[in-house]
Structure 1
């Protein structure tokens, strides 16, 4: 078959598989296609030369990532969408260049799956803190695979799904008589998934907390938090005042904690008198601590995105600062090199958001709480580090108003549900106008507010001290996958050198045999 035709077949398979992977996530949400999409990717690059593998892998990455985060195009801007999706697509291209070498190794599905896992692990942390959106594990919230998250975490689940895809590829390309090994491998993976589903991780609750999550709503078009940011603060204050009135009337039990979302005040509440008065009045009226989402001034060129524990007696206290600000969304990397350029909506980012470094949970109402702000929930290190240090409950403060008319909101809520399973904790989500919800440790949704409404969810949640195996493992599975991939590449390189030496060495074992031209293929 002509090389051009082979290349076109590879590219077609890669693009189709990338689009199939998109269908695993919201809004289509067909998670059963995951291993088939990965199998298509492995098949499209198998046996290719590195340059061809890169091109084919890149085609897969473009097809997948540009469609997976298409919500960025209209909500943030086509420039940011193209830039971010383009960078993430490159990772699939690099993987495509490396996989042909790994697939020459014995038991290559293990090596290939480790490489896929290492690729996701790397792109979720680098560059500029990475972009975890689109990891295989983030599509399994409503599947039998979900309980496995408590045991092996998102990284382990990704490896298992990638391995299923690689084993399916093995069944298609393995020589006759070796298919049994692929069937056995699939049986082992499915057996592990079934075992976790039959015996999901559970822990005794050591206490309870009544938590109210406030969704104040966003005035105007609903997708611009700055349209009337003072009214956003008043909306959340008014909803809390209504809750306080119900408590006084005896129609509502007093909560132990109230959670406001990210950007519930878009100005520094220590400098803005009106917002400060609204927050203080609401907190004192309800009579319990309120976790307020606030933008706090750093200096003339920097700002901090914080969750502040606001006590009715002592005022502002402990704080959590967002660990992973969004590049080109909340800060501009290499600003000094591109200042003065016209970057569309990026021009409104006048000050860079400073990344937080805190790993200790907040102490509120006698409980230890792990906080995450918006995109933080997609990163492995934020909640794991706080839970491993004693957090008994998780709160997620998010705005999402920018994305309220897109499917980003559903994608993020699905990731949040997975974090509940992974950490074995109740998760309370407060959003400005959606999605606000309370999630149980098994990932089920206890309560959820309608988007674009003013709502207060008041639920009693359990406190858990025990650590899931996934939290105990932490980042080591990802690091291990990267190490295994490096070892595999070294072995493949050494094997390639041996094959070249064999090719270059004339045979002397046959008498009077003339020199023979040998082929690497």
Structure 2
């Protein structure tokens, strides 16, 4: 049967005859979703372990071109597609963590939930697209939606923030001015301006004044970041300390590691003894401070073995431990351990991992989770006390593992006088995935944000010593028993980011809300004006 052409009739009787034309399947219907998916995957590729930080603004340029000229519903769909294909590969470490008992549903469900934020961003960006300086308003909207993502669901999940794709490169120095929010804004703004420039050049095929201004706007964040590099201080301001971190290693068994706490302790003690032997043999310098990773041991009372080990080092230690409270509840803690007097000040993790350290919506979770029973007890979050401890004559700021993804723990520690930051972590849950290096990228950003050296102490890797400019001076591999000993500067200067604190984030959020409100007003006035013009024409 021959194909049938659909003829479009003349709009009015007597109008000039138009030749019949055949409707073709609109290619944009395919090209736009494909571009949204490709841009989302490019955004994922910009994250560690790949040093492709420059891919992030290009990914956002692709997203902006897809959203160009769309309405809210289409923008939501394209933004969701961008986010879903980004989070799916980024969060594959959840499969290693949960194992085959859960299947892919938690991974898919979390990726879906987080992609909804990107979908909402895509929809709202279409509302501000007709405002003057539209790329700026669009970038503000995208970054503003990272704020509620740090609150909801389940206490927030800020993994995959734009700034975490920038542990190196031109945008990183901006962290010292406005923290992660400003770095993210600069990346997205650059991408959106590149998209605006490409669209203008395509439409007029020549370099016009608006195109030149858009090009300058795209370059501004890059130039600003590069100009700030000389201001990133790395020198010691209150002396230096030799710090040692012990990586005892652990079996690669995911969530089943819950029942292997004795193995973690034994391995950490064994590696500590090897380090002690190397110190006594003169192979490595004696440390001023010893650091154990997160949950390296369990403390329920006096611990003579740890007492003796720390005494043998002759230096204070920060011991990552699961601490049992008098009422039987547990806290994920770091304990300052003196070589003479034993355990002292203790910091308890404030930002607990949902479904790992506590179970939200427990009744629902019990229907799908094979690891819950009546004896499973949630950990208790800390209240921020002792986040800055004094050890080896040094004020040390501590934040534990998952807390690296949140802005406030490191900021609070530095405001409390921390001269050095320490991040005990247990990434042994997540197999050979990219999770550990993704988290290290966050610590590198925090180093620049607060102008502090950062010591990352991991159970099974990656442990690292990070300079105040984000450079990794030494690191370990995954699933190896190893130790690091390095000299770190102590710094007292606070950055502008520390002084501004959360005001940067909330200020950007307020601007984004104002932009959306302005976009809604403009759209409403445009519709009223169009309706009035149509009425006059009818009269």
TM-score between the two structures when normalised by the length of structure 1: 0.90
- Aligned partner of 1:51 among 68, 73, 85: 73
The superposition leaves residues 278-305 of structure 1 with CA deviations (integer Å, 9 ceiling, x where unpaired) of 3222122222222111112347784211
Any idea what SS the aligned residue of 1:352 has?
coil
Match among 31, 54, 61 for residue 53 of structure 2: 31
Match of 1:262 among 281, 284, 294: 294
Do the aligned partners of 1:331 and 1:349 also contact (CA within 8 Å) in 2?
no
| Matched residue SS, 2:85 | helix
Q: State the alpha-carbon separation in 1 of the partners of residues 276 and 32 from structure 2.
A: 62
* Residue matched to 2:158: 132
Deviation at 1:229, TM superposition (A): 2.3
* Aligned match of 2:122: 96
- Superposed, 1:84-483 pairs within 5 Å as 84-174=110-200, 176=204, 177=208, 178-202=210-234, 204-219=236-251, 225-226=257-258, 228-247=260-279, 252-265=284-297, 267=298, 269-271=299-301, 276-298=303-325, 302-335=329-362, 337-338=363-364, 340-344=366-370, 350-358=376-384, 360-483=387-510
- When the two structures are aligned, how many residues end up with a matched partner? 506
Q: CA deviation at 1:414?
A: 1.7
> How much has 1:249 moved relative to structure 2?
5.6
Alignment partner of 1:353: what SS? coil
1:202 and 1:424 in contact (8 A); partners too: yes
Name which of structure 1's ranges 173-182 and 466-475 shifts more when overlaid on structure 2.
173-182
Alignment of 1:63 with 2:93, yes or no, is: no
Distance 2:371 2:76 in 1: 32
Structure 1 contact 291–309 (Cα < 8 Å) conserved: yes
Residues 139 and 339 of structure 1, relative CA distance in 2, 3 Å threshold: closer
Judge conservation of contact 1:302–1:353 (CA < 8 Å) in 2.
Answer: yes
**Judging changes above 3 Å, is the alpha-carbon distance between structure 1 residues 2 and 500 closer, same or farther for their aligned structure 2 residues?**
farther
In the alignment, structure 2 segments of 5+ residues that lack a partner are 1-22
Contact 1:35 1:161 in 2 (8 A): yes
Larger of the two Rg values belongs to structure: 2
Structure 1 residue 13 and structure 2 residue 35: aligned?
yes
Task: Map Cα deviations across residues 217-244 of structure 1 (whole Å, 9 max, x no partner).
Answer: 2257698534642232122223333444
Alignment of 1:487 onto 2:514: yes
Q: Are the structure 2 counterparts of residues 198 and 317 from structure 1 closer, same or farther at C-alpha, using a change threshold of 3 Å? A: closer
Q: Deviations over 1:184-208 (max 9, x none)?
A: 2123223212211344345652122
- Normalised by the size of structure 2, how large is the TM-score? 0.87
Determine the C-alpha separation between the residues in 2 that align with 1:25 and 1:123.
19
Deviations 1:328-373 (A, max 9, x none): 22211122x4254122456799222222221641111221111111
Cα RMSD, aligned residues only:
2.6
- Structure 1 residue ranges without an equivalent (≥5): 508-513
Range that drifts further, 486-495 or 184-193? 184-193
Distance 1:219-1:281 versus aligned 2 partners, 3 A rule: farther
SS at match of 2:398: strand
Mapped to 2, the partners of 1:374 and 1:349 lie a distance apart of 25
Alignment of 1:516 onto 2:537: yes
How many Å apart are 1:127 and its aligned residue? 2.8
> Are the counterparts in 1 of residues 98 and 255 from structure 2 also a CA contact under 8 Å?
no
CA distance in 1, matches of 2:365, 2:124: 37
CA distance in 1, matches of 2:482, 2:50: 27
Alpha-carbon separation, structure 2, partners of 1:66 and 1:394: 31
> Is the 2:388–2:398 Cα contact (8 Å) retained in structure 1?
yes
